[in-house]
Structure 1
Amino acid sequence: MELSYVEQINQAAGFIRGRIGGRLPSIGLVLGSGLGDLANEVEDAVAIDFGEVPHFPVSTVEGHAGRFVVGTLEGKTVIVMQGRFHYYEGYPMRQVVKPLYVMRKLGVQSVVVTNAAGGMNRAFRPGDLMLICDHINMTGDHPLIGKNDPELGPRFPDMSEAYDKSYRELAHRISSQIRGDDGDALELQEGVYCGISGPSYMTPAELTMLARLGGDAVGMSTVAEVTAARHCGLRVLGISCITDMAVGDELEPLSHEQVMEVANRTKPKFAALVKTFVREAEV
């Protein structure tokens, strides 16, 4: 007999709990393309490949190691997703968001969800970090379609503050403490993230449309995960690494390798921001 979605989540959480002992995490980190090296800074770490976890798919995208790392970061126990699952890999939305529910079952209260994104706001530049204040779901799907189990969350979850305002305020305060190579403080952008299905990059006309709808950045992840996170009561900080400019009437050819290269250059200030946030955030 096929297990229910909740039973699959409980089995996955039980497997991870058995591997990590009594060190249950309070903060989860979801690390996007080119940003996964932060997991290497977790101390006393236990690494668990996604393929080992019952009822989990595997990550197939370059730049995504495809594993959980559980341990200590800045004095707190964390669970890090070094990579993620994407809708465009062919996985149903419920598979894409399953790790968020598993984190919640393990005791996680807050998550930092990160991604590499194209900047549609003309004030942005490649290498900027953008705090996500809101999102627009343009994937054509939704992770909560189907029967709702109240053990996971309410049938109609509120999304009026999907990205925690107090967490964004804390991130802005932290940014003034972080210095770049030029000695200047880290300046964080803030804006609306548009989530698309992918895997193709968007056409100029599509990007112009999204910008007119109010989007500041565009990417192929995050929206479904944040929806599930709020469904099960997790507080969320969202951060986009702007890896390229996605302005419709100025669009230039783009490759995944270019995205990875800019994300790699941005890692030092990204890591400093996330580590300080983990240390100072209330969960």
Structure 2
Amino acid sequence: MNLAMLAQGTQAVRTAFPTAKPVVGLILGSGWRATATAFEMQGRLDYCAIPGLGRPTVAGHDGALLWGTCSGLETFVFLGRRHWYEGAGWESVAFPIYLLKTFGASLVVLTNAAGGIRADLTPGTLMVIDDHINAMGAHLLVGPHDACWGARFPDLTQVYDADLRRRMDRAAECLGHPLAHGVYLATSGPTYETPAEIRAFRAWGADAVGMSTVPEALLAHAAGLRVGALSFIANRAAGLGNRPLVHEEITAAAYSAAPVMSRLLQELWKELAK
């Protein structure tokens, strides 16, 4: 991984936001962009102005770093994420975590849109990620080790912070909108899964499937940040529904739930501020 490029991108952010001291990072996945309204913004920087990051190529990912606050917590909000399948290398995926660590943030909340495998994970459900399965066929920590990412062989017994998961549940209880919990499986994409793969993933213990989140979670945990993650179940996984999977329909489903997701993040930030 090109750390010099990541450092160059970090300097660009420091120049744009010279007084920023984020405590929390939030990466908004497919369909989550409207939730940024929960934050009082102090600045915006397009990804294309940040070396090592670049503009996302996927619909539903705007490509901007927002600097704002919610419940008094200074936050870097990543409006859209880069995916490994876009072909820009691991640097673009790793940059948000590198930036948060360099700026001294202590935790990151990751979001995504996912396909439901478990029977009760129907479209519209919000799921707290308790654990994950990495089926991407690649790992962003492969290569020469750098101490900024923590130990050479990170322990993954508890990637997703238990206290953050409890706070997510309490935030949802305030809204009368209980959250599901489950295991998220990540593939490399960009193809959706086959029905046979979904049957295999279910046998492995996966409850939901997507193409992101796991790399950032691994890196953040290894680097010493507390990690929380939420999936919006936008569709039933391949072979479990009655229609083909279309990205635009999946993001549209997430957009329709934006009011609930925004209120959930507002309540979660109140919990984080306690």
Q: Give me the whole-angstrom Cα distance separating, in 2, the residues matched to 1:152 and 1:124.
A: 34
**Cα deviation digits, residues 47-66 of structure 1 (max 9, x gap):** 11111012323201111000
Q: Do residues 71 (structure 1) and 68 (structure 2) align?
A: yes
Runs of 4+ in 1 over 3 A off after TM superposition: 247-251
Given residue 173 of structure 1, which amino acid in structure 2 is its aligned partner? Answer: R
Which runs of no fewer than 5 residues in structure 2 stay unpaired?
none
1:145 is the counterpart of 2:120: no
Q: Partner residue of 2:120?
A: 123
2:169 aligns with: 172
Q: Secondary structure at the match of 2:166?
A: helix
| Kept after mapping to 2: 8 A contact 1:204/1:251 | no
2:218 to 227, 243, 251: 227
d(CA) in 1 for partners of 2:72, 2:142: 38
Distance 1:264 1:37 in 2: 7
- State yes or no: 1:133 paired with 2:124: no
Query: How many Å separate the matches in 2 of 1:62 and 1:258?
Result: 11
Tell me if the contact between 2:36 and 2:262 (Cα under 8 Å) persists in the aligned partners.
no
1:271 aligns with 2:268: no
CA deviation profile, 1:214-247 (whole Å, cap 9, x unmatched): 0000001001111111111110110000000116
State whether structure 2 residue 19 is matched by structure 1 residue 22.
Answer: yes
TM-score (ref. length: structure 2): 0.95
Tell me the residue number matched to 1:182. Answer: none
Which moved further from structure 2: 143-152 or 126-135? 143-152
> Deviation per CA, 1:72-116, whole angstroms, max 9, x where unpaired?
122111000000101111122343122211111012111110000
Aligned partners of 1:71, 1:253: CA distance in 2, in Å? 38
The within-5 A match list for 1:1-283 is 5-178=2-175, 185-246=176-237, 248=239, 250=241, 252-281=243-272
Deviates more, 1:165-174 or 1:247-256: 247-256
Deviation at 1:156, TM superposition (A): 0.9
Gaps of 5+ in 1: 179-184
Secondary structure at the aligned position of 2:147 is classed as coil
Q: Distance in 1 between the 2:124 and 2:31 partners?
A: 12
Tell me, in whole angstroms, the C-alpha distance in 2 between the residues paired with 1:5 and 1:247.
36
Cα shift at 1:8: 2.4
Percent identical across equivalent pairs? 37
